[in-house]
A and B are shown apart, each in its own frame.
Chain A
Amino acid sequence: MSITSLLAISLGAILTNNFIFAQFLGICPFLGVSKKIDTAVGMGAAVTFVMGLASAVCFGINQLLVAAGLEYMQTVAFILVIAALVQFVEMFLKKNVPTLYTALGVYLPLITTNCAVLGVALLNVQNDYNFIQSVVYGITGGLGFLLAIFLFAAVREQLEFADNPKCFDGFPIALITAGLIALAFMGFSGLKVW
């Protein structure tokens, strides 16, 4: 394993294979909490944190499952671990970092059902990443999510004043905006790390 492979993973997770715009993971919170920049960034940060942590823990769990010959229990085991993890993070933040806890508010429990988190755990297994690669993929994938939701929230704040056909109000025009941002992200697809 070299630094280049980590760099390639990071670049892929943030730009070329962005979780939102290229892989369609985590669309629900992406559309749900992107009305304001502040909350969007808070959500992005929380997701990054949980994705990194989940990658690390699920890597260990997967080793245990493989050792026990129970690979088919992956989905069940991972989702339980993630749900427990989110609960744990919530309790920890509440006790030790109350300011961050109040800032994240209701978004913390919502992370359990964010498909990007379960997705990253499953993709780590699928891609045969080792421990460090998994954690890097988790964190940079989260950063990619943060970047996407920040850009989208910034555009969406302006969208409120746009004069679009009435039936496009709300979600449709937001989706089309997201599509255009995705189109821009396709421009990164030529990027490569040697």
Chain B
Amino acid sequence: MNVKKQFKEGLLTQNPVLVQLLGMCSTMAITTSIMNGLGMGVSVIIILTLSNIIISLLRKVIPNEVRIACFIVVIAGFVTCVQLLLKAFLPDIDKSLGVFIPLIVVNCIILGRAEAFASKNSVGASFLDGIFQGLGYTVVLLIMCFFRELFGAGKLLDIQILGDWYTPIGVLTLPVGGFLCLGTLIAVMQWALAKSAKKKEQKENTEKEAA
């Protein structure tokens, strides 16, 4: 079990949103304020980790033909739990996230990790995978929230940060802003990955020459 590798994959090289391109709907829809992003991110981490554990435990019991349906039932169960808890204890967040909480059921990150990882790996590894992939998702959400809330409304966590001199770029908080923001973020990620790959290649080349 390689904790460090899994951590790096979840946050950078295999980031669920920026590299695997999963779970785009919620990423673009709810990232208009930091509070929303935090609520959504934490919910997804909890659901992803728990469903990964359960699916990994059941991986030898579930017949292959109906596995997707089984995964969905497990995930839907946890989503309902989280939804009820949010309604009871954090009604404000529940209201502003609205329909996107129950829609975590069809968030491709969770089903994708269940299919690609938890159904093939041990419980411990699946647990870590859930936490790190969930963290990767949350970090991207928070970066998007930061830019969209700061420049779109001049606020952070509902506190006015930028003074009167700043005219908010209102379009950033609209759906358009979500598309543009995520597009740019993925472009930056592709640029960074390409650069690090090039560096590695160069290093190998110089090592070869030296030898």
- A residues with a Cβ closer than 8 A to B are 21-28, 31, 72-76, 79-80, 83, 112-115, 118-119, 122-123, 126, 165-176, 178-180, 182-183, 186
Residue of A nearest to B174 (CB): A186
Partner of B102, one of A24, A122, A167, A173: A122
- B residues with a Cβ closer than 8 A to A are 21-22, 24-26, 28-29, 68-69, 72-73, 76-77, 79-80, 83-84, 98-99, 102-103, 105-108, 111, 171, 174-180, 182-184, 186-188, 190-191, 194
Question: Is B187 within 8 A of A183, CB to CB?
Answer: no
Question: Is B80 within 8 A of A24, CB to CB?
Answer: no
Partner of B182, one of A26, A115, A173, A175: A175
Given the interface pairs A171-B186, A179-B180, the reply to whether A113 lies near B106 with Cβ below 8 Å is: yes
Most A-side CB within 10 Å, residue of B102, B179, B188: B179
* CA gap between A178 and B28 in the complex, in Å: 12
Question: Is B175 within 8 A of A79, CB to CB?
Answer: no
* CA gap between A183 and B107 in the complex, in Å: 25
Question: Is B183 within 8 A of A176, CB to CB?
Answer: yes
* CA gap between A170 and B191 in the complex, in Å: 12
Question: Is A182 within 8 A of B25, CB to CB?
Answer: no
Question: Is A75 within 8 A of B25, CB to CB?
Answer: no
Residues of A within 8 A of B76 (CB): 75-76, 79-80
* CA gap between A186 and B173 in the complex, in Å: 13
> Interface of chain B, helix or strand or loop or mixed?
helix
Question: Is B106 within 8 A of A179, CB to CB?
Answer: no
Residue of B nearest to A73 (CB): B80
Please give 11 more A-B residue pairs, beta carbons under 8 A apart, in addition to A112-B72, A118-B102.
Answer: A21-B175, A24-B175, A25-B29, A28-B22, A76-B76, A76-B77, A80-B72, A118-B103, A118-B105, A119-B103, A176-B184
12 A-B contact pairs sorted by A residue (CB < 8 Å): A27-B24, A28-B22, A31-B21, A79-B72, A80-B69, A173-B187, A175-B182, A176-B183, A179-B176, A182-B176, A182-B179, A183-B171
Given the interface pairs A22-B175, A28-B24, A167-B191, the reply to whether A76 lies near B80 with Cβ below 8 Å is: yes
Residue of B nearest to A18 (CB): B175
* CA gap between A26 and B28 in the complex, in Å: 12
- Quote the shortest CB–CB distance from B24 to chain A (angstroms): 4
Question: Is A119 within 8 A of B99, CB to CB?
Answer: yes
Residues of A within 8 A of B79 (CB): 75
Question: Is B111 within 8 A of A183, CB to CB?
Answer: no
Given the interface pairs A22-B175, A27-B24, the reply to whether A172 lies near B103 with Cβ below 8 Å is: no
Residue of B nearest to A84 (CB): B69
Question: Is B188 within 8 A of A167, CB to CB?
Answer: yes
Residue of A nearest to B190 (CB): A167
* CA gap between A83 and B66 in the complex, in Å: 11
Question: Is B80 within 8 A of A183, CB to CB?
Answer: no
Question: Is B179 within 8 A of A175, CB to CB?
Answer: yes
Given the interface pairs A172-B184, A173-B183, the reply to whether A186 lies near B176 with Cβ below 8 Å is: yes
Residues of B within 8 A of A31 (CB): 21, 24
